[in-house]
A = this chain, B = another copy of it.
C-alpha cells in the first residue's frame, strides 16, 4: 500500500483524490492546502489528514509519494521540498511557466533519487494510446503528417487567464506538444504559431489568445499541425490524425451514449463530452496506476522531468513565434 500526500485540493486535486481512494494499492494519507477548508472536504470524504503546512505532511515517514496539484508557479519549491524529503513526486503539468526555474528545479531534483512523473494524462487515454501503439507497430509506416485538434468548450475564468498569459500554449497545447513528441518519438526543430482573440471582451477581458494554429517541423521531417480554441461550444474536441506512408489513423471524439435519433431534420447524435474530467476520466486513473506500478517495481515513472521540460520549451518557442510572427528554431 502506497501512502500519498496530495498538495492542492482545488480543481484537479479531487480527481486524483478519488482515483487514489479507488486504487487497490494506494491510499490518500494527507491533503495539504493553504485553504484548510478545501483540504478538509477531501480528507473527510476519504479519511485522510489535513494540513496547511507542507512540511508537516512531508515529515510523516509513512508518506511515500506526493501529488502536486497547486498552480504551476508554485510547483518547483514543492518538488524540491518533496525530493529532499525523499518522496516520490507526481506533478501536474506544466512543471512551471519559466524554463530557467524548471532547469534549476531539475538540477535540484537530480541531486536526489526521487522518482518524478509529470501528469501528461493524455498519454494514458485508451484511444490516443491505441493510435500510438498502432504507429509503433508500423500500421501506417513512417508518419509524415500529424494533426491535432485541441479545443476547450470555454475559456478559463479571468483571474486564471491573468495568472498565465498565453495559457493556450502553456496550459492547453502543452499537452499536444507532449503528444507530438510521444506519438512520433521525435523532437521538433522549428515552430510557427499564429493566434487570435475571437471571444468578446466580456468573455476574454485580458485579450489573451483564445485561438491558435501551430505548425511544427520535426527532426525526422514530419510536419505537424496543432489547432486550439477556447470556444468549442459543441463540447470538448480532442482529435488526433496521423498520416503515414501506408495509411492514416484517427483518434476520434467521445460521446456519452451511442444513441442516434432519426427525425425529419436529420440524424442526431449526442454532443461530445463537455468537461475534460469526463473525457479523460480513464486516462487520469491509468496514469496514477502507472505511477503506482513504477513505484512498486522500482522503475522510472512513465513520463519524466525532461518530458515536462521539453513540452514547456516548445510552448515557450510557440509563444515567441506568435509574438514575433516568424518561425522559431528549437
A308 to B243, CA, bound (A): 30
Nearest-neighbor residue (CB-CB) of A192 within chain B: B192
Q: Is the CB of A268 within 8 A of B265?
A: yes
How many A residues are at the interface, by size bracket? 35 or more
Chain B residues, CB < 8 A from A255: 267
A139 to B213, CA, bound (A): 23
Chain B proximity of A224: nearest CB distance (Å): 8
Chain B proximity of A227: nearest CB distance (Å): 6
Chain B proximity of A273: nearest CB distance (Å): 12
Chain B proximity of A47: nearest CB distance (Å): 11
Binds B, one of A166-174, A232-240, A311-319: A232-240
Q: Is the CB of B194 within 8 A of A217?
A: yes
Nearest-neighbor residue (CB-CB) of A221 within chain B: B196
Interface residues of A in 231-265 (CB under 8 A from B): 231-235, 237, 243, 245-265
Nearest-neighbor residue (CB-CB) of A253 within chain B: B258
Q: Copy number in this complex? A: 4
Chain B residues, CB < 8 A from A229: 144-145, 243
Q: Is the CB of A262 within 8 A of B251?
A: no
Q: Is the CB of A271 within 8 A of B267?
A: yes
Chain B proximity of A323: nearest CB distance (Å): 14
* Contacts A259-B130, A264-B247 given; does A194 touch B213 at CB 8 Å: no
A270 within 8 A of B: yes
Nearest-neighbor residue (CB-CB) of A255 within chain B: B267
Chain B proximity of A274: nearest CB distance (Å): 9
Q: Is the CB of A249 within 8 A of B223?
A: no
A264 to B268, CA, bound (A): 12
A211 within 8 A of B: yes
Interface residues of A in 94-137 (CB under 8 A from B): 126-127, 130-131, 134
Q: Is the CB of A215 within 8 A of B217?
A: no
Query: CB within 8 Å of B: which residues of A?
Result: 22, 126-127, 130-131, 134, 139-140, 142, 144-145, 147, 149, 151, 192, 194, 196, 198, 211-213, 215, 217, 221-225, 227, 229, 231-235, 237, 243, 245-272, 325-327
Q: Lowest 8 A-B CB distances belong to which pairs?
A: A252-B258, A234-B262, A127-B257, A247-B263, A248-B262, A250-B260, A213-B223, A130-B257
